[in-house]
Amino acid sequence: MVQPRIRRRAFDAVTPAPAAAPVAPAVKLTGFVRQFGANRVIDGLDLSIAPGEFVALLGASGSGKTTLLRTLAGLDPVGDQDVTTPDTRAVVFQDARLLPWKKVWRNVALGLKDKGVRARAEAALKEVGLGHRLDAWPSTLSGGEAQRTALARALVREPGLLLLDEPFAALDALTRLKMHDLVLNLWNEHRPAVLLVTHDVDEAIALADRVLVLNKGRIAAEERIALERPRAPDARFQAVRRRLLGHLGVEAPASHEAALVAFPSGEAVQ
C-alpha cells in the first residue's frame, strides 16, 4: 500500500499551483484518508472546490472516485476527519435510482416538505425538458429521461454542491452530448459547485473549469481549463487532452483508460 515517494514528487512537479481562492471554499478536504480493511483507497487527499466551480474527476477504475464522491455526499462515515461541504448536497448516480413506486414528479419532490412542492417539481422537470412526463411511472422512462429526472431531482433542492457519478456513462453518444449542454445550462442557471466523476476525458474537458486526476488515493494531477464554452475540439483542447491522457497513461499500466476515449480526429494516443 505504501507508494514510492519519488513518483509522487514527480506528479507534484507536474501539478500547477492552485489559484488562491478569495472566498471560503465550498468543499475542503485536507489529508483525507479512507480505507476498507487494509485497503487504503483514499490516502492523504487534499481537495478544495470553490463555490460555483465545475470540477471533473478522472481516474482509473478502482482508483477511489466513487469513494471520494460518497464521502462528499455524506453517505460514508468520515470519523473525526475534517470534511467541509455545503449543507445542501445532491447526488446523481450512474443509474438514475428513481423510486419506481412514485410518479416522476413525486420522485423529484422526494423529501421536500414546504408548500408548493408540486409546482417546484414541475418547474424543475420543465427545465430538463420533461414537463410532459410529470405523472409517468419511472419504469416507463427512457434511460436519458430517467437521468434527466435524476438531474431535476438534484437541482430542485438548489444544492450548494452537485455530485455527479458518471451520470452519462450509460447513455448513447448523441444523448450524452445533449446532456452536456443541459448540465452546463443548469449549472449556469443555478451555480452550484459541481464534482463530476467521469471516465471520458473529452467530457471532462468540455465541461469543467478544472480537471483532477485521482491516482493512488491522491490528486495526482490537475489541469485548469481556461477555454471559452462551448468548447470545440481545437488545438488547445487537444493539447489539454494529450496532457491529461499523459497523466492517466503514466500510471495506468495498460493505458486502458486512454483506450476508452473516443477520438473524433482519429489520432493515435501518445
Partner 1 sequence: MSLTTADRISLARPFRWPRLSRARWLSPVLLLALWELGSRFGVIPERVLAAPSTVAETFWALTISGELPANLLVSLARALAGLTIALIVAVTLGLISGLSRLGETAIDPLMQIKRTIPSLALTPLFIVWFGIGETPKIALIAVATTFPIYLNLFAGVRGIDVRLVEAARSFGLSDWSLVREVILPGALPSFFVGLRYALGVSVLVLVVAEQINAQAGLGHLINNARDFMRTDIIVVCLLVYALLGLGADAFVRTLERRALAWRPSLVEQ
Ligand X SMILES: Nc1ncnc2c1ncn2[C@@H]1O[C@H](COP(=O)(O)OP(=O)(O)OP(=O)(O)O)[C@@H](O)[C@H]1O
Stretch that binds partner 1, among 6-14, 135-143, 170-178, 181-189 (CB under 8 A): 135-143
Confirm or reject binding of residue 34 to partner 1 (CB under 8 A): no
Nearest CA-CA partner of 55 in 187, 215, 248: 187
The amino acid at 207: L
The pattern of x and - marking residues 66 through 85 that bind ligand X according to CB under 6 A reads xx------------------
Q: How far is the CB of 199 from Mg ion (least distance, A)?
A: 9
Confirm or reject binding of residue 210 to ligand X (CB under 6 A): no
Spatial contact of 184 and 114, defined as CB atoms under 8 Å apart: no
Confirm or reject binding of residue 35 to ligand X (CB under 6 A): no
Nearest CA-CA partner of 248 in 224, 206, 212: 212
Q: Which residue is nearest to ligand X (CB)?
A: 66
Peptide linkage before 253 cis (omega within 30 of 0): no
Stretch that binds Mg ion, among 10-18, 58-66, 101-109, 116-124 (CB under 5 A): 58-66
Confirm or reject binding of residue 36 to ligand X (CB under 6 A): yes
Q: How many other C-beta atoms are found inside a 10 Å radius of the C-beta of residue 153?
A: 28
Nearer to Mg ion, 67 or 238 (CB): 67
Nearest CA-CA partner of 127 in 147, 148, 106: 148
Confirm or reject binding of residue 61 to ligand X (CB under 6 A): yes
Confirm or reject binding of residue 89 to partner 1 (CB under 8 A): yes
Nearer to ligand X, 126 or 256 (CB): 256
Among ligand X, Mg ion, partner 1, none, residue 149 binds (CB under 5-8 Å by kind): none
Q: How far is the CB of 245 from ligand X (least distance, A)?
A: 16
Dist CA 200 CA 197 (whole Å): 9
Task: Match 476525458 to its residue by C-alpha cell.
Answer: 201
CA 206 from centroid of its chain's CA atoms: 13
Dist CA 100 CA 106 (whole Å): 10
Show the cell assigned to 11: 506528479
Which residues of this chain interact with partner 1, rule CB under 8 A? 73-75, 89-91, 93, 95, 97, 99-102, 110-111, 137-140, 153, 157
The residues of the shown chain that bind Mg ion, judged by CB under 5 A, are: 66
